[in-house]
Amino acid sequence: MDISVIQEDITTLRVDAIVNAANNSLLGGGGVDGAIHKAAGSKLIEVCRRLGGCNTGDARLTSGYDLPSKYIIHTVGPIWKGGGEGEEDLLRSCYRSVFNIVKSHKIKTIALPAISCGIFAYPVEKAVKIAVSEVRKALDSQKQLTHVDLVCFNTDIFRVYSDYLENEK
């Protein structure tokens, strides 16, 4: 299987790149962002400061520093405001921006959290469709990309992701 749904702490994974669900400042926060900054060490915040932020739907690459992964790809998901504020396009744009970086850096293995599905409150049932369709497109179009982990920290999200992939037709 080239896609796995796993319930893990993303900061422990030994993959080429992990994805961070960041905010526009790129200066850290709660959720997965906080966990990544804590595990990567203080060099990460120094480098992020120099990046000067990131627009919603866009992505930036840094080294993984103290993490087992070589790279971190930081993306900024939309805050869910009911669906009428372009949230779907912005979330799709996050995945596309991430996979553009994957292509340009010849990344072979990557782990992604459920972008926007925590503090930013994007409905998981809607987000999983975007995540899986963009992951499949990347796997189909990028020969070097061999494996994608969809990382679910909490059990409810893990169930939604697992059910979706099992029943997807």
Q: Which residues bind ligand AR6 (CB under 6 A)?
A: 9-11, 21-23, 29-33, 35, 77, 113-120, 151, 153-154, 157
Q: How far apart are the first and last CA of the chain?
A: 16
Torsions phi, psi of 113, nearest 5?
-85, 175
Tell me which of 9, 16, 33, 66 is the catalytic residue: 33
Q: Say which residue the tokens 């060490």 belong to.
A: 41
**Residue 57 or 77 with smaller CB distance to ligand AR6:** 77
Q: How far is the CB of 19 from ligand AR6 (least distance, A)?
A: 10
Q: How far is the CB of 117 from ligand AR6 (least distance, A)?
A: 4
**Residue 33 or 58 with smaller CB distance to ligand AR6:** 33
Residues 6 or more apart from 169 whose CB is under 8 A from it? none
The yes-or-no answer on residue 33 being catalytic is yes
Q: How far is the CB of 140 from ligand AR6 (least distance, A)?
A: 25
Sign of the alpha-carbon torsion through 52, 53, 55, 61: positive
**Residue 69 or 102 with smaller CB distance to ligand AR6:** 69
Report CA dihedral (168, 76, 68, 15) to the nearest 10 degrees: 30
**Residue 17 or 22 with smaller CB distance to ligand AR6:** 22
The Cα–Cα gap between 71 and 67 comes to: 9
Torsions phi, psi of 111, nearest 5?
-125, 130
- Catalytic residue annotation: 33
